[in-house]
């Protein structure tokens, strides 16, 4: 079905998971809300939490155990943990932690649906944990509280040393949030016979197969292992805009603007801006500059007819696959953003990340000139 297109993109849903919603602001008159006024509240007290931990990181073991003991024993929360996290011998073999493990609810990625069971999410690790949390929820996403442990992450504003008071405050409600828009991506592939077997995955559409993804950072289309330039056509709302000749193209959210896109020369865009960014990767044209388009548009990427080679696509660095002639990638803004809980507020958190992670505009100041020096 055709989406309603608008200059400011789709209005995001303001309920997240079974119990969380955005606190209504009576002073919000415009459709675009002042970022500082975005607040999270609960319809009912949260009872379940998903704890996502970076796998095989020994430095996270102690914080993970402390947090889980706190959540189960002091906060009486139902804790969901992925099965492969508990497979770590350092966790499974810890007898003192065994009583807590018995209380966990476990699940397996791609097999178990937890979308209606989790009230909020806590991430321990780097930015990858937030991207992973996003991938687990293809529709409404529960609020996410992300802690950085070790190196400072761009999407992980909380420090672990005060986790008890911070988590307590989130459970009690009324905290600042930032709605990170996602991209809804649909890949349609022509079925191809290979040694007499028709290869199909996802939903079949006659001779075609279709797969859908929700993407928080970016969709990357590149030339893969080929030595030739990639050659892909870019359509916007059905009109051919340009052909990308180069190493590839990045289609990113504002959240993804500070990831791969900024390394490829794009602007950094605050996550509250309703936009989609298109950034060429090493284009074979000096005048091909990155562009920003409204969040409501629909982009389509296909191999050009005269492309010498296939292209490859990945979604937040995952699910990498080959794109051949006749295949298409359709991208638009999703109605299901990721509600990230702020440490302070959406503006302060973002500029703090720019200075801490990217050292944005960090430089030595010029010396002050005295009146005597000005005369020379």
Give yes or no: residues 149 and 74 share one domain: yes
CATH code for position 311: 2.60.200.30
Does a structural domain hold residue 115?
A: yes
- Specify whether 237 is catalytic: no
User: Mean pLDDT over residues 40-62, rounded?
Assistant: 92
Q: Are 250 and 265 in contact (CB under 8 A)?
A: no
Identify the pLDDT of residue 292.
Answer: 98
Give yes or no: residues 74 and 176 share one domain: yes
User: Mean pLDDT over residues 108-122, rounded?
Assistant: 88
Does a structural domain hold residue 308?
A: yes
Q: Could you tell me the pLDDT band of residue 149, with boundaries at 50, 70 and 90?
A: confident
Give yes or no: residues 117 and 187 share one domain: no
User: Mean pLDDT over residues 215-221, rounded?
Assistant: 98
Does a structural domain hold residue 169?
A: yes
Does a structural domain hold residue 13?
A: no
State phi, psi for 50 to the nearest 5 degrees. -100, 125
Element (H, E) at 293: strand 291-294
Give yes or no: residues 106 and 131 share one domain: yes
Per-residue burial over 125-148, b if 16 or more Cβ lie within 10 Å, else e, is bbbbbbbbbbbbbbebbbbbbbbb
pLDDT exceeds 60 at position 59 = yes
Does a structural domain hold residue 368?
A: no
pTM: 0.86
Total structural domains within the chain: 2
What are the strands, taking DSSP E only, across 158-274?
Answer: 158-159, 175-180, 183-190, 193-194, 197-198, 203-205, 208-215, 218-222, 230-236, 239-246, 248-252
State the residue range of the domain holding 123: 40-181+337-358
Question: Tell me: the pLDDT tens digits for 305-349?
Answer: 999 999 999 999 999 999 999 999 999 999 999 999 999 999 999
Give yes or no: residues 352 and 296 share one domain: no
CATH code for position 130: 3.40.50.10330
Q: What percent of the chain has pLDDT over 90?
A: 67
Q: Quick one: which of 178, 247, 248, 259 has its CA closest to 217?
A: 259
Of 34, 57, 88, 127, which is the active-site residue? 127
Q: What is the DSSP letter of 351?
A: H
Give yes or no: residues 45 and 132 share one domain: yes
């Amino acid at each position: 079905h055709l989406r309603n297109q608008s200059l400011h993109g789709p209005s995001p849903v303001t309920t997240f998971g079974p119990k969380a919603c955005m606190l209504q602001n009576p002073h919000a008159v415009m459709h675009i809300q002042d970022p500082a006024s975005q607040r999270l509240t609960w319809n009912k007290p949260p009872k379940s939490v998903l704890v996502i931990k970076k796998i095989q990181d020994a430095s996270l073991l102690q914080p993970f155990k402390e947090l889980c003991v706190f959540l189960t024993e002091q906060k009486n929360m139902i804790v969901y943990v992925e099965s492969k996290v508990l497979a770590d011998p350092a966790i499974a073999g810890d007898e003192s932690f065994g009583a807590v493990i018995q209380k966990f609810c476990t699940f397996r990625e791609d097999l178990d649906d937890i979308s209606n069971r989790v009230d909020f999410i806590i991430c321990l690790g780097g930015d990858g944990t937030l991207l992973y949390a996003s991938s687990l929820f293809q529709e409404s996403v529960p609020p996410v509280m992300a802690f950085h442990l070790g190196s400072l992450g761009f999407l992980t504003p909380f420090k672990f040393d005060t986790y008890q008071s911070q988590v307590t405050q989130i459970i009690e409600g009324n905290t600042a949030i930032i709605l990170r828009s996602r991209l809804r991506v649909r890949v349609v592939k022509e079925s191809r016979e290979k040694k007499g077997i028709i290869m199909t995955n996802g939903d079949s559409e006659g001779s075609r197969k279709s797969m859908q993804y929700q993407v928080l950072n970016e969709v990357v289309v590149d030339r893969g292992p080929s030595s030739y330039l990639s050659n892909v056509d870019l359509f916007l709302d059905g009109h051919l805009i340009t052909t990308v000749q180069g190493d590839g193209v990045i289609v990113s959210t504002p959240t993804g603007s500070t990831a791969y896109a900024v390394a490829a020369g794009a602007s950094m865009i605050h996550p509250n801006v309703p936009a989609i960014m298109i950034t060429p990767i090493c284009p074979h044209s000096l005048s091909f500059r990155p562009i920003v388009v409204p969040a409501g548009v629909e982009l389509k990427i296909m191999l050009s007819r005269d492309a010498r080679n296939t292209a490859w696509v990945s979604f937040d660095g995952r699910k990498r696959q080959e794109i051949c002639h006749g295949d298409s990638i359709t991208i638009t803004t999703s109605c299901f953003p990721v509600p990230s809980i702020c440490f302070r507020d959406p503006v302060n958190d973002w500029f703090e990340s720019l200075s801490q992670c990217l050292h944005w505009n960090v430089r030595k100041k010029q010396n002050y000139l005295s009146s005597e020096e000005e005369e020379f």
